[in-house]
Amino acid sequence: MDSSSDDETAMIIGAATSALAAGYAVLEAYRTPIVIPRPPHINRDQARENYMDSILYGSSSYCIDQIRMDQDIFFRLLNTLTVRGLLHPTIHMSLREQLLMFLQIVGYNLRFRTVGGYLYRSTETISRYFSIVLDAILKLYPELVHLPNQSTPPEILGNQRYYPWFADCIGAIDGTHILAAVPLEIQGKFRGRKGIPTQNVLAAISFDLKFSYVLAGWEGSAHDSRVLEDALSRPGGLQVPKDKYYLVDAGYGIRNGFIPPYIGVRYHLKEYDGNPPQNEKELFNLRHSSLRTTIERGFGILKKRFRVIDNDPFWDFKTQVDVVLACCILHNHIMGITPNDRFIQEMGRKGEKQFRWSKPMEHMMLQILAEEVKLGNRPNNNFRQSSFTRVVDAIKEKFGATCLPDHVENHLRTVRASWSTIVAIRGRSGFSWIEDLKMIIASPTVYHDYIQKNPSHDKFIHKKIDFYDEMALVVGKDMATGSFGKTFTDINLGAPLTVDDAVNNITELVMQKEIPYSNASSSETNTSSCGAKQHRKRNRSSDEIEKISERLAEVAAALTKLSTNKLDVSSLYDEIMKMKGYEEEFLASVFDHLVQNEMLAKSFIVKSDRLRLNFLEDFKKQRQT
């Protein structure tokens, strides 16, 4: 009894001691203060001045990136606002800070809090001065926005395509929809055909790309002709000089001072590519469309320069309307000083927004880009800028056309879309592919049913597809093929996997970059080590281990060869066609598949004949299923 009692006493004492120790530790933790180091002191005024100096006294390109205009234009605008008494410095904010802050907001649609962080200002301060600068900019419109005079624009007078037939034309008019944020109860009348709230902005632009009239704030559901009617009826609204006219689209109808194109006659410039006008109406529509691209370029430059125009607004609707008008005024100020700045050049110098590609130009582009693919100059499925520059130089040298790298990149997207359509049609039931002719064919019934639903695809059926091989090299790899898709019925229920098969699978995975070789090796090692602790296989012979080592050495050698060699498409084709026992059409399909999977193609080249046969049999089974 005494011994048992002593043990219980010891246990109680031990538990009490532990509880006291834990309680003491908790108390010490609460007593120890958590010290948060204070941030270093920043002289906000000095930091603010340094930030503005870096923009206004740095490089011209950096200044344009930050405030969408260079230093000369900025200081001229600042001087105009100051001389006219429209903007005043305060004890809290200088003139240049007020204007720079405003330009950053409208240039990138930045929130007040973001700009306040750059300038060490509160959100309320930024908001207040934004309204002040906005009001000052709007009051500049009498000096910067003018109706065109009655003389013939020099852009028409010096161009035989338009003069004297369009001698009395003074500009173009059109509308554009700009995103609007309005209360939920009135969103219905702001929703246009795209289903989102917008404001319908009507603008008249002269051929020097300046806005001569702007009417903003109409609900997005309003028809363009109704907005034009309001512009004509407003006091001090849109005025058309006597015997002069604007070019408009067919939606505005025929009225004095406004000339639309012929209805029912092809109009857009792309409709005339490779198919010149056949009569006087088509010729008029072609010239009309070419001239009216001025309004599209004007809107494009405005939205590219001031990102606030084409993004979700965060002000009340009245401010949204004022911001649109202010951006148009700033655009005219810039065009009056530098009519060919960086944004104009990006849209194309004195030309159309889209570069007009001819068939020989497109063929040259695809040939050059196909060579770039063979040279390995398309990492991550994207061409380097040097590849586009090479195309630009070649087109300029042969055709004398002014082409930009952006034109090449944009046209490549068009080619990629065409290729996607071709692949989709080839995969449809009822369509066949003639390899020798590079042509998709179908029975009359299938053809007519399909074309009724997809009339724009007519150019891909029963016609030779130009530059098919070049397109396959340049954009074929970018298309989703579903070649990695697998379901339960694809599982091989045959003989168990052998060591040779397992090593072969690892080789293919490594070569396709699905798993890094080093990771695969370490993973095998870890798994083997872990498994050895649980149920080590004691019957594995040294011959098997040596065999696996030899196979892994082959994999390493193959990887080394792959890392130093680029895919030679011609050699790949020769190697595939050497395989005996298969039809030529089947081997051609294998070639097309491997060209679209570069790493798999490299894997095929370095394999032995036995492994190549295994690959061909697997590919054949996949096609049959």
DSSP, residue by residue, 210-258: -EEEEEEEEETTS-HHHHHHHHHHSTT-----TT-EEE--GGG-SBTTE
Q: What is residue 536's predicted lDDT score, i.e. its pLDDT?
A: 44
Q: Both 379 and 294 in a single domain?
A: no
Specify the range with the lowest mean pLDDT, choosing from 135-139, 263-267, 323-327, 428-432: 263-267
More confident residue, 237 or 523: 237
Q: 């929130």: which residue's tokens? A: 111
Read off the tokens for 117: 């962080």
pLDDT band at 206 (very low <50, low <70, confident <90, very high): very high
Judged against a pLDDT cut of 90, whether residue 25 lies above it is answered with: no
Q: 């499925």: which residue's tokens? A: 381
Judged against a pLDDT cut of 80, whether residue 275 lies above it is answered with: no
Most confident by average pLDDT, 342-351, 451-460, 471-480: 451-460
CA nearest 145: which of 285, 346, 335, 8?
Answer: 335
Mean pLDDT of the region 528-532 = 41
Q: Both 132 and 166 in a single domain?
A: no
For every residue of 384-437, DSSP letters joined together read -HHHHHHHHHHHHHHH-----HHHHHHHHHHHHHHHHHHHHHHTSTTEEEETTT
Mean pLDDT of the region 3-22 = 68
Q: Both 120 and 179 in a single domain?
A: no
pLDDT tens column, 101-148: 999 999 998 999 999 999 999 999 999 999 999 999 999 999 999 888
Give the CA dihedral 51, 52, 57, 61, nearest 10 degrees.
Answer: 80
More confident residue, 593 or 145: 145
pLDDT tens column, 185-196: 888 888 887 788
Q: Both 121 and 159 in a single domain?
A: no
Q: Both 238 and 277 in a single domain?
A: yes
Helix pair 499-511, 542-564: axis angle to 10 deg: 20
403 strand-pairing partners: none
Structural domain ending residue among the three candidates 447, 478, 509: 478
Judged against a pLDDT cut of 90, whether residue 158 lies above it is answered with: no
Q: What is residue 595's predicted lDDT score, i.e. its pLDDT?
A: 76
Q: Both 405 and 308 in a single domain?
A: no
Cβ burial 3-21 (10 Å sphere, 16+ → b, else e): eeeeeeeeeeeeeeeeeee
Structural domain ending residue among the three candidates 318, 347, 367: 318
Q: What is the pTM of this model?
A: 0.55
Q: What is residue 549's predicted lDDT score, i.e. its pLDDT?
A: 56
Q: What is residue 350's predicted lDDT score, i.e. its pLDDT?
A: 42
User: Within a domain: residue 579?
Assistant: yes
Cβ burial 482-515 (10 Å sphere, 16+ → b, else e): eeeeeeeeeeeeeeeeeeeeebbebbbebbeeee
Report d(CA 327, CA 84) in Å as an integer: 19
Q: What is residue 72's predicted lDDT score, i.e. its pLDDT?
A: 93
Read off the tokens for 516: 């890094």
Report d(CA 437, CA 548) in Å as an integer: 48
Specify the range with the lowest mean pLDDT, choosing from 349-353, 372-376, 567-571, 583-587: 349-353
Domain span at residue 451?
A: 359-478
What type of residue sits at position 343?
F
Q: What is residue 321's predicted lDDT score, i.e. its pLDDT?
A: 94
Q: What is residue 492's predicted lDDT score, i.e. its pLDDT?
A: 60
Task: Give the CB-side neighbour count of residue 417, counting CA atoms within 13 A.
Answer: 8
Give the CA dihedral 586, 587, 588, 592, nearest 10 degrees.
Answer: 100
The Cα-based distances of 304 to 78, 307, 399 in angstroms read 22, 6, 29
Judged against a pLDDT cut of 80, whether residue 533 lies above it is answered with: no
CA nearest 612: which of 598, 594, 585, 592?
Answer: 594
Give the CA dihedral 128, 133, 139, 144, nearest 10 degrees.
Answer: -160
User: Within a domain: residue 215?
Assistant: yes
The Cα-based distances of 509 to 10, 527, 618 in angstroms read 65, 18, 15
Work out the mean pLDDT of the chain and round it to a whole number: 80
User: Within a domain: residue 484?
Assistant: no
What radius of gyration do the chain's Cα atoms show?
35
Judged against a pLDDT cut of 60, whether residue 552 lies above it is answered with: no
Q: Both 71 and 215 in a single domain?
A: no
Report d(CA 432, CA 466) in Å as an integer: 17
Q: Both 190 and 218 in a single domain?
A: yes
Q: What is residue 292's predicted lDDT score, i.e. its pLDDT?
A: 87
Q: Both 382 and 275 in a single domain?
A: no
Mean pLDDT of the region 24-53 = 77
User: Within a domain: residue 16?
Assistant: no
On whether the CB atoms of residues 173 and 258 are closer than 8 A, the answer is: yes
On whether the CB atoms of residues 177 and 194 are closer than 8 A, the answer is: yes
CA 367 to chain centre: 24
Q: Both 167 and 198 in a single domain?
A: yes
Count of domains for the chain: 4
Q: Both 160 and 266 in a single domain?
A: yes
Specify the range with the lowest mean pLDDT, choosing from 54-58, 96-100, 177-181, 449-453: 449-453
Mean pLDDT of the region 526-531 = 41
On whether the CB atoms of residues 425 and 440 are closer than 8 A, the answer is: yes
Q: Both 162 and 211 in a single domain?
A: yes
User: Within a domain: residue 147?
Assistant: no
User: Within a domain: residue 230?
Assistant: yes
User: Within a domain: residue 518?
Assistant: yes
pLDDT band at 6 (very low <50, low <70, confident <90, very high): low
User: Within a domain: residue 536?
Assistant: no
DSSP 461: B
